[in-house]
């Protein structure tokens, strides 16, 4: 069981090694603790990850903000497929060592394969850094971040589930796959505000450079090791320019609304071909709507993705058909924050995937901000013992 909890750090280590980049999604600790909301509630330092317009939402005493860094990871493995796939090699080695295997020996292998069939796991990790300079002319937020998203599944051959054929052949044709993406971005958000008698209107834009590395790790199921996914032969890299645009309106009575369009230029990326298997990953435009109530002592809000983020659009060459919609995501979240006079914050939230691919999760977190200068934020999510996540973040505001 311990291996599974080392997967996220492995992904994070990979992201840190690419520390000059950024990603599509981010695990900002405050947002993560509040059910993933942020399009109308983010502060000027983390606005670039949620709504570039809010880069221009700052206080009179705010001059510079530095986020160094935000690090987070999340594992969704309710069926424990990662551990079971890695453990399968031991089961198969014992079977192979038997000179004259019986039906009972073969059945142990088949039972282990059937436990893996049709199951999948999802692992995500993120590293983000930002420097924000708010001002009355054009507020600026420069950021770099990296985001990894991988799913693991077993591609089981029908013949491997037949006792007689397994004894006769003695070998397997089933395979295990890790398919995913590491998306790295570097960009700058520019934002302005316009005050009216009823509130303030914010608008912003984020041009960004993206480097997209697709992952297509395929191996015989008896030889699967999750850590091998980062071998260069399983990866391809492409780069492009993309764009986010955001709007927000904060009323004087505390109500606020936000609308964001992310990755407005649609791009698709072909994986390398491994054992005859290849896929196409898509980054499509996504749109988020948000509403919140913001008070000096508390904030409550809701964010809803208006469409799905597509992920892998096609996967060809597998033994069994793969549901390419199973990695789509369309998140909706609700969250609340209680603020103790800018010295400490208590947060909680709930998030669901409208695509019904990820489990619903509860989120919570704590922030400490002495003198409103140094900030440390911790947050966590929980859906079950094998579906959880955590984020740690430090920042300075001057």
pLDDT digits (tens, 9 = 90+) for 326-358: 889 999 999 999 999 889 999 999 999 999 988
The per-residue pLDDT of the chain, averaged, comes to: 91
pLDDT at position 26 is: 64
Specify the DSSP element, H or E, that contains 132: strand 120-133
pTM over 0.85: yes
Residue 380: other Cβ atoms inside 10 A:
20
Specify the DSSP element, H or E, that contains 112: helix 103-116
pLDDT at position 227 is: 83
Q: With contact defined as beta carbons under 8 Å apart, do 39 and 204 qualify?
A: no
pLDDT of 278 over the 50 cut: yes
- Tens-digit pLDDT profile for residues 25-67: 567 999 999 999 999 999 999 999 999 999 999 998 899 999 9
CA distance 235 to 293: 44
In the sheet that holds 311-316, the strands lie side by side as: 267-270, 278-283, 311-316
The CA-based angle 90-96-102, given to 5 degrees, is 110
pLDDT of 359 over the 60 cut: yes
- Tens-digit pLDDT profile for residues 174-223: 999 999 999 999 999 999 999 999 999 999 999 999 999 999 999 999 99
**Domain map (residue ranges) of the chain:** 2-397
CATH code, residues 2-397: 2.40.160.40
């Amino acid at each position: 069981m311990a291996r599974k909890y080392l997967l996220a750090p492995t992904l994070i280590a990979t992201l840190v090694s690419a520390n000059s980049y950024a990603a599509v999604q981010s695990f900002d600790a405050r947002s993560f603790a509040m059910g993933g909301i942020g399009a109308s509630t983010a502060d000027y330092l983390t606005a670039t990850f949620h709504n570039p317009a809010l880069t221009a939402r700052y206080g009179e005493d705010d001059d510079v903000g530095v986020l160094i860094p935000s690090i987070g990871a999340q594992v969704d493995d309710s069926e424990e497929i990662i551990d079971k796939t890695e453990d399968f090699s031991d089961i198969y080695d014992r079977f192979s060592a038997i000179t004259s295997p019986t039906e009972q020996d073969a059945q142990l292998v088949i039972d282990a394969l059937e436990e893996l069939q049709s199951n999948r796991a999802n692992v995500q990790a993120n590293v983000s850094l930002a420097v924000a300079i708010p001002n009355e002319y054009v507020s600026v937020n420069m950021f770099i971040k990296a985001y990894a998203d991988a799913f693991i599944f077993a591609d089981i051959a029908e013949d491997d589930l037949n006792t007689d054929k397994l004894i006769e052949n003695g070998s397997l044709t089933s395979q295990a796959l890790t398919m995913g993406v590491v998306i790295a971005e570097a960009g700058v958000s520019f934002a302005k505000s316009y005050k009216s008698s009823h509130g303030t209107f914010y608008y912003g834009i984020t041009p960004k450079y993206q480097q997209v590395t697709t992952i297509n790790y395929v191996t015989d199921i008896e030889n699967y090791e999750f850590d091998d996914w980062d071998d260069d032969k399983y990866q391809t890299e492409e780069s492009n320019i993309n764009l986010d645009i955001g709007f927000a309106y904060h009323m004087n009575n505390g109500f606020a609304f936000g609308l964001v369009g992310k990755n407005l230029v649609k791009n698709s990326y072909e994986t390398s071909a491994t054992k005859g298997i290849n896929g196409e990953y898509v980054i499509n435009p996504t749109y988020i709507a948000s509403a919140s109530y913001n008070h000096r002592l508390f904030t409550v809000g809701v964010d809803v993705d208006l469409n799905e983020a597509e992920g892998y659009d096609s996967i060809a060459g597998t033994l069994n058909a793969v549901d390419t919609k199973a990695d789509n995501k369309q998140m909706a979240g609700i969250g609340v924050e209680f603020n103790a006079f800018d010295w400490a914050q208590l947060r909680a939230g709930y998030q669901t995937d409208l695509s019904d691919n990820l489990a619903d999760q509860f989120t919570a977190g704590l922030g400490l901000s002495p003198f409103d200068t140094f900030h440390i934020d911790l947050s966590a999510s929980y859906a079950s013992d094998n579906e959880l996540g955590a984020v740690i973040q430090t920042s300075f505001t001057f």
